[in-house]
Amino acid sequence: MSSAPIRSPTLRPHRMKKDESFLGKLGGTLARKKKAKEVSDLQEEGKNAINAPMNPSAVDIHPEDTLLEENEERTMIDPNSKEDPKFKELIKVLIDWINDVLVEERIIVKQLEEDLYDGQVLQKLLEKLADRKLNVAEVTQSEIGQKQKLQTVLEAVHDLLRPHGWTIKWNVDSIHGKNLISILHLLVALAMHFRAPIRLPEHVSVQVVVVRVSMKLYKIFVRAIILDYSDFMLLERDAFDTLFDHAPDKLSVVKKSLITFVNKHLNKLNLEVTELETQFADGVYLVLLMGLLEDYFVPLHNFYLTPESFDQKVHNVSFAFELMQDGGLKKPKARPEDVVNLDLKSTLRVLYNLFTKYKNVE
């Protein structure tokens, strides 16, 4: 996106015609001056409104941030955005979460960009979350060593996230360059993938200042980045959040109703459910249930009848979700991984959607 010029040309009044008479000029001087001032003020106001967000004088740019190669750009968060309550809450929630995960490692994170850029903390965090050991050097002081370690850590992260449809919005250079936006995208992806017991603030909007070098000159403009993770449907509170938080005594009633509903159909295949969170976790019953509700046979080669790995179970649940959408239901407000990980609330959301549509199906 090309930026507009930083400074607009100064407005200049029209010159008087040479043949204008002295009396004409004298008689219209006051009116013209008043009118010219009104027009000038209005134009200046409009010009300021348009150019204010792009005016470099309003942004505190460090000289080092302009030392860039041709066509290179650097981004930094507008200081005003850092004071936004939702942004500060997001930072705090993530820092607290990291410190809780790494408490046994005696690691304390105080500032995300300063503590995570070299890959050391990210390595420990991923090892703890994924329960695996990475083959990297424990301590690296040189920039080359840090980037090599960071590359290994991020490749391991990508191997985990890409199969589940995550968009990668960071890289080695942005993390090592202490780009806070990239670090936030990475941490939120990890937190949501591993079902972190945290609630992220909704609709966090951040103004980012972009410095770009073009034709040996640097230009500054501002763009908004919205840290909104509603695509993953985990931030949107619904009736089940309320049920779990404020009316847990009614949970058994809901579970009983859903068990009765699913068994009404699964009994046709001599199958029976007694525990919702465990018996739907591998996705098999979900797939079979959709076939019964829509009255079709699901070919066995489309899913794993006896899944053995986590990925096979996720495949089954994802396939069941596709069948639900083919049947006219909206995308489930849960991730397949949540159902596989025995998250009762996610499983209830999925089954309740089926109950709502098919409760009268015989």
Mean pLDDT estimate for the chain: 75
Distance CA 61, CA 40 (A): 31
Return all residues near 353 (Cβ < 8 A) that are at least 6 apart: 324, 329, 330, 332, 333
Closest CA to 189 of 158, 218, 217: 158
Q: Quick check: helix, strand or coil at residue 73?
A: strand
Give the pLDDT confidence score for residue 240 in this predicted structure: 61
Residue 214 pLDDT level (bands cut at 50, 70, 90) = low
- The mean pLDDT of 181-192, rounded to a whole number, is 89
Task: Please name the residues in contact with 129: beta carbons below 8 A apart, sequence gap of 6 or more.
Answer: 101, 190, 194
Q: CB burial class (10 A; 0-12, 13-18, 19+) of residue 251?
A: middle
pLDDT tens digits, 62-115: 545 455 555 566 677 877 888 888 888 889 989 999 999 999 888 899 999 999
Give the single-character DSSP code of 19: T
What is the Cα–Cα distance from 39 to 34, expressed in whole angstroms? 9
Predicted pLDDT of residue 246: 54
Of 264, 260, 242, the closest CA to residue 251 belongs to: 242
Per-residue pLDDT at 217:
52
Q: Which residue type does 182 have?
A: S
Q: Count how many Cα atoms sit within 13 Å of the Cα of residue 343 in the half-sphere of its side chain.
A: 21
Listed ranges 53-57, 197-201, 271-275; the one with the highest mean pLDDT:
271-275
Residue 240, CB half-sphere, CA atoms under 13 Å: how many?
A: 20
- State residue 243's pLDDT score: 57
Please tell me which residue, 36 or 133, carries the higher pLDDT value.
133
Pick the closest to residue 48 from 3, 8, 14, 13 (CA basis): 8
pLDDT given at position 74: 64
- 353 closest CA partner among 319, 318, 328, 316: 328
Q: What is the pLDDT of residues 219-253, one digit of tens each?
A: 544 555 555 554 443 434 455 655 555 556 677 78
Q: How far apart are CA 168 and CA 188, in angstroms?
A: 11
| H or E stretch at 338 | helix 336-340
Q: Give the number of other Cβ atoms within 10 Å of residue 241's Cβ.
A: 13
Q: Is the pLDDT of residue 287 over 50?
A: yes
Tell me the whole-structure pTM to 2 decimals.
Answer: 0.49
